[in-house]
Structure 1
């Protein structure tokens, strides 16, 4: 705190000034207005003075003055102005203001037909200050009906009827910050908010357009029904998407261009617009890429990269286009070099009185302006890192050429590795997602990942990470554990096996899936020691549980794990000798009629592996239920199931192995030979070859 602020606070808390403050309770209108004016002038820019006023219990008195119809408009106006300033203090200040019932009072004043435009405007300003915080009682504006009219409906009508740009701006801001759930989106759609937004986007005031676009984005975000309404909404003969496209023209401010692009991105991701539509390919994508360039404000650059990542996340064609648009890869790489301009921030801060909006991350009341500026600079730098990493993750999701360009960008891999240990959770997560996309490249797994020892931070995160991080870590490990990845050897230890096995027991579907998927890749062509570790740690009881998982992909990957464990003759016989009964039970469960064909095919392939063992064959030959299922699948309508079952039978019939005559006789009696002869009439060449090979195994034993 500088000397001026210190002296200001000393003066404010003097005995004489307390008398001036306490005059707010006077019945003399002149003394009361002087007190209110004194308080207003002293709380602006000083959190300490705000705190003194709140602790003095002045807020309830202010609310009483606001509701008192006998007081003059000036007194009411200045009382609301104090509330507006107090709402810009710390989060503690804001909670007190909300708890004493400020919001319903402001809502009543706004919707009161007797309130002048000036009172409505200052009340909306105060309400906007409150509703920029996460503590705002949002449901109040949806549930309350002051003067018998739904407050949201009243606000939307007021926004359309008022010629006051500030009123329109405040209403759009309040509603944008109040749209946080699907229920809120539905309510706003039902009240006609999208039509109101369409009108506001045509406002000549850019300060109205920006919150209007933010409101539209909030309504359409991940909401197909709302996005469909938005796409079909027209104003003055123009469809809303056309208006948004025009707002992306370069004569508009970067903030307007960005927000218009964000709206169309949300509509596309919600399914209301196609990725190949002109609004997306030729306008939205190039606009977002342009907004990432160096000549734009850092906050716009970061926000645009975030939305560009979301736009291109699931569509490979958009990823290809984005990767060659406006030199986007070097532009994004430049985000890591961001150095905030102190001069630019200082000029902005000096332009208006220094008053911070409240948020859960607010600093203590003693926080200085310089501290706040430093915090803002740090936050922007973190946002830019996160945004760049997320954008790279999306661009590299499917295209090998793009991955190569990203990897070859100067110092990028170092920035990704550094991001994995960043104290900011969002940056760690974004770095992991980027690494996950890059790990889909065989070439990068063999070279860059090996050169940068990526397994070191990943092993650390595997042992100590939040669930969100753990999901991406385990997804990345699934790729690093592929047989052609040199990183695989660094995870073939008991600790990694135990950690992956523990993931299969988690309630989150993604963690269970990634755990069993990683184990499946780990078991592929592994030595017997690794396979035994997996089986011992995972346990057959957990395998049976995973086979019963409601998520079919988990069932398939579990069967894939069993199939990889049961490879190589010696391993098959060894594993089946100790776990054969339980593994046969798992296979039998997978062959049940309720499962889809791809699960049954995997189960039949496991049986084929078991049938290739020496001693393991008897687990099939002694199981009448399994043998009957094999015969049934040989004559099934699904060719893939026929091929898999015939392959298993062929291994059981193999004439060069001990006990072949006995097995052939039993299978012949069951009708297997006849079924194989029938399959020779198939039009499928693969099935024909399998059936002929199996028939060739039958011999005339004496």
Structure 2
């Protein structure tokens, strides 16, 4: 029909397409062929103004896939829409803006081509003052898409990304009050202010956070509005403590927690994102989240059927379990330690990382019951596999988990950890600090501090086992490293291994082993060097330990 020589048939065909794609039951999976898209592009230049307008409306609804957008652009669709934008008739201009907003959404290449096309910004900016809420919204969408493709400076001040974003923000803030476009506005607002703290602050000052929170409290909040609102709040609160405080003061926590169990996976994901932003708050604000029992629905999301929900929920738990004993105990009571351990075996790298990270934070300053539960749920073989994971950040977090597991332990707890490893703890850690193995500095630091924590527990067999595993041979090289991080950790290891007293009967033997390995000589050299203040003080302590045993030589 679109290729008919009869203009009336063409118009009927394009109007039929418009009706199909505007329907809520439109076949999203069905895509127009390249020939059909090219024919629609041709119709943008039709002498029949109605046909050109309707063709633009169809393009605005049928070109969501990247390949379709590229096909329209390659067929000259951008030029056709820009010509349509230059006409006097508002309805045709609106149709062109609608299509341009769709084509530029998520496409940096098309956005750049449109932004570089001439006077489009100067054509769009005045339309932000249109009496039509729909026109203002479409223009805001288009400008939001184009802003990242615009220069930060320009001979024409109105042609910069900053000016455009600042012009769009107050318009979107006001459109939150308009029922005609309210469902669509939060998503665009989120895109506009992403990674821009100045705009996030301006949005908060324009009362956007309280308006969005108000949507969540309404019983008639649709799933689309709920998802967009939660995503917008997540973005607005991602980097600003003041915005997080505003959101909590707006009594939004309860509906956010309820949204974690929403039937829609998109809403559940957006709720997890919002909670994750809030979980970056200062400890006092995160305490408010604990009061609303946000952890319980988050635990359920670890088994969510949606992959993205599982990833975001596990990332959120990393923050929430860090500081609060009630949350740590809730994890234990809910049996979620096993779920986190199971996720460490996921084929998804993000899930493995988040799960190990959550376990790392869970055992940090945790009760002996929580730590013991992690040991019971996590086979040592799993730890070994994670320390050899293809992702180095998973390896590092696993070593950090071991460090936290051994921190502030009593001797019986250290013995349990060593028994858990089946005697493999020391060889694993010592292999990680070996300078010849070329492991990342951060990995060596975590492994060293794990040994430091074990030695600090005061369990004599544990201290002897560290040296028996070969650490002494590596310490001179570790102490001589240029970086303060490894050097400080190595000095702490020496201090804890050489501490004397009635509770350390084997200290003299260990001092002798370290002296024979050359550790005392390196410490003597370090004591004469200009060092970081903390390293210098720790070196003094280590030297004094040797002196106390009459084993230190100048």
TM-score (norm. length: structure 1): 0.69
Given that residues 245 and 279 in structure 1 are in contact (C-alpha distance below 8 angstroms), is that contact kept between their aligned partners in structure 2? no
2:318 equivalent in structure 1:
478
1:415 equivalent in structure 2:
255
Given that residues 150 and 161 in structure 2 are in contact (C-alpha distance below 8 angstroms), is that contact kept between their aligned partners in structure 1? no
The reply to whether residue 305 of structure 1 matches residue 189 of structure 2 is no
Higher relative contact order by CA 8 Å / sep ≥ 6: 1 or 2?
Answer: 1
RMSD: 2.9
Mean alpha-carbon deviation: is it higher for 513-522 or for 565-574?
565-574
1:14 equivalent in structure 2:
none
1:599 equivalent in structure 2:
443
- After superposition, the Cα gap between the structure-2 partners of 1:663 and 1:136, relative to the gap in structure 1 and judged at 3 Å, is closer
Q: Residue deviations 1:137-171, cap 9 Å, x none?
A: 42x522x4xxxxxx544533431x32333322333
Given that residues 115 and 149 in structure 2 are in contact (C-alpha distance below 8 angstroms), is that contact kept between their aligned partners in structure 1? no
- After superposition, the Cα gap between the structure-2 partners of 1:274 and 1:514, relative to the gap in structure 1 and judged at 3 Å, is farther
Q: Residue deviations 1:466-512, cap 9 Å, x none?
A: 33332333233223212246433222237111111111111223322
Given that residues 448 and 493 in structure 2 are in contact (C-alpha distance below 8 angstroms), is that contact kept between their aligned partners in structure 1? yes
2:389 match: secondary structure = coil
2:495 equivalent in structure 1:
650
The reply to whether residue 134 of structure 1 matches residue 47 of structure 2 is no
Given that residues 41 and 72 in structure 2 are in contact (C-alpha distance below 8 angstroms), is that contact kept between their aligned partners in structure 1? no
2:10 equivalent in structure 1:
120
1:21 equivalent in structure 2:
none
The reply to whether residue 388 of structure 1 matches residue 229 of structure 2 is yes
How many pairs does the alignment contain? 531
- After superposition, the Cα gap between the structure-2 partners of 1:588 and 1:156, relative to the gap in structure 1 and judged at 3 Å, is farther
1:368 equivalent in structure 2:
none
Q: Residue deviations 1:374-402, cap 9 Å, x none?
A: xxxx7x73323333222222222222222
Instruction: Please point out which of 208, 229, 232 is paired with 1:328.
Output: 208
Q: Residue deviations 1:428-481, cap 9 Å, x none?
A: 3333332332233222332x3344333343344445553333233323322321
Residue 291 of structure 1 and its aligned partner are, at CA, apart by: 1.0
Given that residues 289 and 305 in structure 1 are in contact (C-alpha distance below 8 angstroms), is that contact kept between their aligned partners in structure 2? no
Given that residues 432 and 472 in structure 1 are in contact (C-alpha distance below 8 angstroms), is that contact kept between their aligned partners in structure 2? yes
1:244 equivalent in structure 2:
124
- After superposition, the Cα gap between the structure-2 partners of 1:170 and 1:627, relative to the gap in structure 1 and judged at 3 Å, is farther
Instruction: Please point out which of 463, 467, 472 is paired with 1:621.
Output: 467
Q: Partners in 2 of 1:538 and 1:430 — Cα distance?
A: 30
Q: Partners in 1 of 2:420 and 2:127 — Cα distance?
A: 69
1:528 equivalent in structure 2:
368
Q: Which runs of 4+ in 1 moved over 6 A?
A: none
1:431 match: secondary structure = helix
Given that residues 664 and 698 in structure 1 are in contact (C-alpha distance below 8 angstroms), is that contact kept between their aligned partners in structure 2? yes
The reply to whether residue 587 of structure 1 matches residue 429 of structure 2 is yes
The reply to whether residue 492 of structure 1 matches residue 340 of structure 2 is no
Larger Rg: 1
Residue 621 of structure 1 and its aligned partner are, at CA, apart by: 0.7
2:145 equivalent in structure 1:
266
Q: Residue deviations 1:263-300, cap 9 Å, x none?
A: 232344x565669943344212222111101xx234x1
- After superposition, the Cα gap between the structure-2 partners of 1:168 and 1:532, relative to the gap in structure 1 and judged at 3 Å, is same
Residue 698 of structure 1 and its aligned partner are, at CA, apart by: 0.8
Q: Partners in 1 of 2:149 and 2:512 — Cα distance?
A: 60
Residue 639 of structure 1 and its aligned partner are, at CA, apart by: 2.4
Q: Partners in 2 of 1:120 and 1:187 — Cα distance?
A: 21
Q: Residue deviations 1:184-242, cap 9 Å, x none?
A: 344444344333333333333444334433433333333333332232221xxx2x333
Q: Partners in 1 of 2:475 and 2:58 — Cα distance?
A: 66
Given that residues 386 and 395 in structure 2 are in contact (C-alpha distance below 8 angstroms), is that contact kept between their aligned partners in structure 1? yes
1:219 equivalent in structure 2:
103
2:540 equivalent in structure 1:
692
Q: Partners in 1 of 2:245 and 2:493 — Cα distance?
A: 43
Residue 590 of structure 1 and its aligned partner are, at CA, apart by: 4.3
- After superposition, the Cα gap between the structure-2 partners of 1:538 and 1:337, relative to the gap in structure 1 and judged at 3 Å, is closer
Residue 688 of structure 1 and its aligned partner are, at CA, apart by: 1.9
TM-score (norm. length: structure 2): 0.86
2:285 match: secondary structure = helix
Q: Can you give the 5+ residue segments of structure 2 that lack an aligned partner in the other structure?
A: 154-159
1:369 equivalent in structure 2:
none
Given that residues 650 and 697 in structure 1 are in contact (C-alpha distance below 8 angstroms), is that contact kept between their aligned partners in structure 2? yes
Given that residues 128 and 174 in structure 1 are in contact (C-alpha distance below 8 angstroms), is that contact kept between their aligned partners in structure 2? yes
- After superposition, the Cα gap between the structure-2 partners of 1:578 and 1:476, relative to the gap in structure 1 and judged at 3 Å, is closer
The reply to whether residue 402 of structure 1 matches residue 243 of structure 2 is yes
